[in-house]
Amino acid sequence: MTGSASLPEIPRDNNEGVLELNKDLETMIENVENISVQVTWMAYDLVALRTSPELGSSLQKLEEAYRRCRAAVFGVQQPEKAEVLDPTAAAHI
Whether pLDDT at 73 is above 80: yes
Output the pTM of the full model.
Answer: 0.42
Q: Which residues are within 8 A (CB) of 49 and not within 5 positions of it... i.e. 6 or more apart? A: 55, 56, 85, 87, 90
- How high is the pLDDT of residue 89? 46
Q: How many CB atoms lie within 10 A of CB 33?
A: 10
Tens digit of each residue's pLDDT (9 = 90 or more) over 34-65: 999 999 989 988 887 777 778 778 888 999 99
